[in-house]
Amino acid sequence: MSAMSNSNWSRRSLFRAAAGMAAAGTLAACGSNNGRGGGSGSGKNLVQYFHAYGEAGTEQAIKRYAKAYKDASVTTQWITGSNFESKLFASLLTDQAPDLFEFHPQLQLVKSGQVADLTDLIEPVKSDFNQADITSHTVDGKIYGVRMIDDPQFFFYRKSLLDKAGIQAPTTLDELIEAAAKLTTSKVKGLFLGNDLHAVINPLIWSAGADTLDAKNEIAYHTDGVVEGLKKMRKLFTSGHLLLDAPADYWDPSALNQGLCAIQFCGMWAMPQFQQTLGDDLGIMPFPKVTDAGKPSVYNGGWSMFVNAKGKNVDAAKEYVKWLWIDQKKYQEDWATSYGFHIPPRTSIAQSATKLKSGLPAEGVKLFDEYGHFDNIGWTQAMITATENVFADCVRKGGDPEAALDTCDRTVGAELKKLFG
Amino acid sequence: MSTTTTRGLASPAPAKVTKTRPRRGPRGTRTFNFWLFTSPFLIGLIVFVYIPIGWSVYLSFFEARFTVTPSDFVGLDNYRQMLTDSNFTGSLGTFTAFAAFIVPTTWAVSLGLALLVNRLRFMRAFYRSVFFLPTACSYVAASLIWKMSIFNGVRFGLANTVIGWFGVDNVAWLANPDPPWYWLVILTARLWLQSGFYMILFLAALQNIPRELYEAAAIDGAKPGWQTFRHITLPQLRATSTAVILLLLVAAYQAFDEFFNLLSKTTWGRPPLVELYYTALGQNQNYGAGSAGAVILTLLICVVTLFQGRIMGFGRGDQSQ
C-alpha cells in the first residue's frame, strides 16, 4: 500500500492542513516581519532608499545608524546598479514608496509635491550649514532636504608620470589636451573623463565662464565659450589620448590605480583608495579654464536626505531625519570621513574633522572652497539629460555644437516654461 | 426440435441506478467549466494588458510627469513632441537597421547549425546542448560579459588582446559611434544568445521531413548537397521558417536588455523600447510623452505585422480551401 493511500492522508485531512497553513500565513502576515522592518522599533516602520556607494563599509554604516534609532524601525534598501533614479522615481508613484530617500535637490520633486518641507528641522541649525547647500535646497524660502555630504570632483594625477613627461599640472583645457598627448604611451592613456563624459559637462560649462541657469532661471550655458569648449572636447575625444570604454566608470578609482591612465577625473570620495595604492605619487587639480574668460571649476556633487511628502509616515520620517542628520554629529562625521572622503556640510563638523585638515584632503577642501559650484535646484533631470545629449551628439558623435545646443535650448526652454511659467 | 437456450451466455448486468441530486445539463456544465478555466487568464489579460494599454492611451493626452493620475489635458502635444524628437525617430531607424540584419542572420545561422548538428553521428546530444545552452543565459548577464570581458576598450579586454597580437591598437568598441563597432558587440551577443533556440526548431522540422522524399529525389537524379537542400529541404522548412522569422521579428521589436546594458546613455544605437524607457521610466519620468511614443510604436507594429502577413501569405491556405 502506498503511503498516499493511507487513511491518514484523506482528502478531508489535506483540506484541514491547507486551511491551517492559510490561517497561519494570515496570522504571520499580521506580525511585524512584513518586509518593512520590525524588531527594535517600538512603533512606526520606516523605509529608506540609498544608492550603492562604492566605498567599503558604507552600507553597514547606514544600517548601523538606523539600528541605533529607537523611535522607529528603519529598513534600508541599498539599491545597486546604475539606475537608482529610475527605481526611486517609479516607486514614489506607488504604495511601496520609501518614507525617506537620498537624492539631489530637484525643483521638479518640490513642484510635484513629492518631498516634504524640512524648514522647521533645519532652521535652528541653519547657520551651521554650508550656506551654498542651504541655497541649493531652498524654494520660496522653504528648505527641502538635508545635505548629508558634499562631494567635490576634480582631477587626480600621477605626479611621477607628469614629471617624466616634463609637464606641470594643466591650467587650461588646451594644456590638458597637450598633456594627455604627452602622457599617452602604448599601455597608458593620458586622460580618463569617464565612459560617457557626463561627469565633466557642468565643469566644462563653469570653466568656460558660463552657468547652467542664471539668477533669473534662464538659459546661461549657450555661450561662445561653451561652444569653444565643446569643440576642444571633440578634439580630445578623437585624439586617441583619452581612455574610452574602461571596465569601471569615472567614480571608481581603478583606471588610475591600475595604470590605465595618467590623469583621471573622479571625486574626493575615492581619495583614500588612490592614496592607498599610489601613496604620495598623487596630485589633484580642478577642471581647468576653457577660455581666457573662464575660471577653473570644481563640481560639488553630494547627496541629501529627503522625506516622501506623500508617504504614510511623514512625521516619523522627519523625526528620523532630524535625529540622524541634524542631531547625531558623531554619525555625520563618521559618514563623511570614515569610508571615502567627503566634506561634511555642517561647518562645525567640517572644521573639526581631523582627516580633512592636512595633506591632500586639505588641498581638496581648498579647491572646494575656491572653485566650488553647487547644484542648482532648478536644473532638473530633463535639463541634465538634454546637456548629456549635447555631449553625445557633438563630442562623441561629431555633430555641430551650435546645432546640438539649439536642440538642448528647446528642451530646456520648454522645461523652464513648465516650471516657472 | 429446436430449442433456444441462454444457458452459458452472460446476461447484461443491470445498470446500477443510484439516487443522485439532479445535475445541470451538459451545456450548463460546459459553460461553467469554460468560465472556471478561462476566467483567471481573462482577468489577468484585462488587468495586466488591456487596462494598462487603455491607461497608456489616456496618459498620452495629458501632461503626466512624475504622475500617472494627471489632470492637465494637452491634446496631441505629446504625439507632436515624440514625432519631432530626433531621438525617437532615430530609434525607429535603429530598429529597422537592427531587424534587417539580425532576422536573416539569425535565421541563416540557426538553420546552418541545425543542418550541421542533424548530420552528426557522434556526440549529437553534446553539440545540441552546447549550441542550445546560451539560450538559458540572461541577456543582462551576457551583455555584461560582452561589455566587461570581451569588448572592453582597454588593453586586457579579450578582443583587444587578440587584435593586439596583430599590432592593431586598442579599439573603444562601445564608446565611439564612428566607426560603429558597437553593432558588432550587440549583434554577436544576440546571435550567441538566440541562435541555439531557433536551431532546435529547425532541427525538429528537419527530422519531420519524410526520408522518402530524398530517396525519390535521388532516384530522379538530384545531387546530394545544394541541389537537394534547395529543392527538398528548404521548401519543406517553409512553415518553420515563416514561424522563425515571425518570432525573430517580434524579438527584434522587443530588443532592450543588450542595448540598455551595452550602450550607456548614448543618443545612437537606441531601439524604440530603450528610447521609451529613457522618456517614461528613466530619469525624466514623462509618462505622457512615453505613452504617446508607445501608442505610435504599437500602431507601427500593427501596420508592419499586417504587411508582413500579406507578404508571407498568412491565411492564403484557408482561402484556397
Measured at the alpha carbon of residue A46, what is the angle toward residues A45 and A49, in degrees to the nearest 5? 150
**Cβ-nearest to A112 among B66, B267, B282:** B66
A287 with A207: CB under 8 angstroms? yes
Report cis status (omega within 30 of 0) of the bond before B179.
yes
Can you tell me the mean pLDDT for A157-170? Answer: 96
* Weakest mean pLDDT among A207-216, A217-226, B147-156: B147-156
Residue A296 in grid coordinates = 577653473
The partner residue sitting opposite A244, judged by closest CB among B175, B278, B286, is B175
Query: What mean pLDDT do residues A72-80 have?
Result: 95
> Could you give the maximum distance between any two Cα atoms of chain A, in Å?
95
Q: A387: which strand partners?
A: none
Q: Which residue has the higher pLDDT, B122 or A305?
A: A305
Mean pLDDT value across residues A206-230: 96
Q: What is the DSSP string of A353-386?
A: -GGGSSHHHHHHHHHHHHHEEEPPTT--HHHHHH
CA distance A55 to chain B (A): 21
Q: Which residues in A lie closer than 8 A to residue B264 (C-beta atoms)?
A: 82, 195-196
ipTM for the predicted complex: 0.75
Interface size between A and B, measured as CB pairs under 8 A: 86
Write out pLDDT tens, residues A301-350: 999 999 999 999 999 999 999 999 999 999 999 999 999 999 999 999 99
b/e sequence B77-100, b meaning 16+ C-beta within 10 Å: bbbebbeebebbebbeebbeebbe
Which chain B residues are Cβ-neighbours of A398 within 8 angstroms?
178
pLDDT in tens, A364-412: 999 999 999 999 999 998 899 899 999 999 999 999 999 999 999 999 9
Contact of B202 with B119, CB cutoff 8 Å: no
Strand-pairing partners, residue A284, are A156
Residue B85: pLDDT over 80: yes
Task: Identify the weakest region by mean pLDDT among A21-25, A253-257, A380-384.
Answer: A21-25
Under 8 Å between Cβ of B61 and B77: no
**Model confidence over B147-199: pLDDT tens digits?**
989 998 888 889 999 999 998 988 999 988 888 999 999 999 999 999 999 99
Residue of A nearest to B85 (CA): A407
Higher-pLDDT residue of A37 and A343 is A343
Is A40 a residue whose pLDDT tops 50? no
pLDDT digits (tens, 9 = 90+) for B25-43: 666 788 899 999 999 999 9
Q: Which of A89, A244, A418 sits opposite B285 (nearest CB)?
A: A89
Contact A82, A251 (CB under 8 A): no
Q: What share of chain A in percent tops pLDDT 70?
A: 90
Alpha-carbon distance of A389 to B270, in angstroms, equals 13
Question: What's the grid cell of residue B282?
Answer: 528613466
> What does the alpha-carbon distance between residue A1 and residue A47 come to, in Å, rounded to a whole number?
54
Per-residue DSSP letter, B76: T
Put simply, the answer to whether A245 touches B153 (Cβ < 8 Å) is yes
Instruction: Tell me which chain A residue has its CA closest to the CA of residue B262.
Output: A245
Instruction: Give the three-state DSSP class for A287.
Output: strand
Residue A37: closest CA among A68, A76, A70: A76
Q: Are strands A138-139 and A372-374 parallel, antiparallel or unpaired?
A: unpaired
User: For residues A367 and A376, what is the distance between their CA atoms, to the nearest angstrom?
Assistant: 19
Lowest mean pLDDT across A80-94, A253-267, B107-121, B175-189: A80-94
C-alpha cell at A70: 529607537
Quote the pLDDT of residue B14.
Answer: 53
pLDDT digits (tens, 9 = 90+) for B265-296: 788 888 999 999 988 877 778 899 999 999 99
CB of A307 within 8 A of CB of A175? no
Q: What is the DSSP letter of A269?
A: G
Residues making up chain A, counted from first to last: 421
CA B295 to each of CA A53, A237, B59, B60, B83: distance values in angstroms, whole numbers, following the listed order: 38, 38, 10, 8, 12
Q: How far is A243 from chain B (nearest CA, A)?
A: 8
